[in-house]
Amino acid sequence: MLTRVLTIAMLVGCGPSVYSQSLAEVAAKEKERRAKVGGSAKTFTESDLKDAASKRAKEGSPSAGNPPPSVAPTTDASSAQAADAQDASGVESSSSEAKKSRGAEYKVRLDATNASLKVAEESFRAAQQQWTIVSDHSWRFAGHYETARSRFEAAKKRVELLRRERDEIEDAARREGIPPGYLR
């Protein structure tokens, strides 16, 4: 109880010494800080944006605010555009099918590697436990020292090799543009 009273008394006594900064003080400090840092940031004004829009208009590309003018195609042009659109969609669908089939191939390889990696990691843990026991009590297990060490090193190399192989499969799939979801 006495502790609470003393704590409250200290807070009330120290309260007036704590003050909040006014907006003007904060602005002045920020201005000083920016002056020390230097004006490395580029600022864009309304005139810069208007200049860029007029430059795009001169080059013929539409600006964000002005959509391109629409031109009504003739019947021959519209049929040609429809044929091009069908060809493009056919190419896209065959491309996506190819990616899916390649993704399935990578998935099979990745699943096999992950299964082997899981077994290798279990073997590594067992070899590590054995190596720890033998190395901690080398005077007792002198005849098993080299066997345990070589088993541990071989298991460690096998895990590293399989992890590297897994990463290479994922990288190869990524380089071919196969989405990561196809590998899951």
Rounded Cα distance, 115 and 6, in Å: 65
With beta carbons less than 8 A apart as the criterion, state whether 121 and 159 touch: yes
| Sequential pLDDT tens for the chain (184 residues) | 777 777 777 766 665 555 567 888 888 888 888 888 776 667 778 888 888 888 888 776 554 555 444 444 444 445 555 555 555 555 556 777 888 888 888 889 999 999 999 999 999 999 999 888 888 887 777 777 788 889 999 999 999 999 999 999 989 988 888 888 877 7
pLDDT for position 81: 54
Q: Could you tell me the pTM of the whole model?
A: 0.47
Distance between CA atoms of residues 41 and 102, nearest Å? 46
- Residues in CB range of 117: below 8 A, 6 or more apart: 159, 162, 163, 166
Predicted local confidence at residue 179, as pLDDT? 84
3-state secondary structure 12-78: HHHHHHCCCCCHHHHHHHHHHHHHHHCCCCCCCCHHHHHHHHHHHHHHCCCCCCCCCCCCCCCHHHH
CA-wise closest residue to 178 among 91, 106, 92:
106
Q: How many CB atoms lie within 10 A of CB 151?
A: 19
- pLDDT at residue 60 in the model: 65
State the DSSP code for 142.
G
Domain ranges of the chain: 97-183
Give the separation between CA 120 and CA 132, rounded to whole angstroms: 18
* Joined tokens for residue 152: 């541990």
Say what the pLDDT of residue 63 is. Answer: 47
Residue found under tokens 């096998």: 158
Check residue 179 and report its DSSP letter.
-
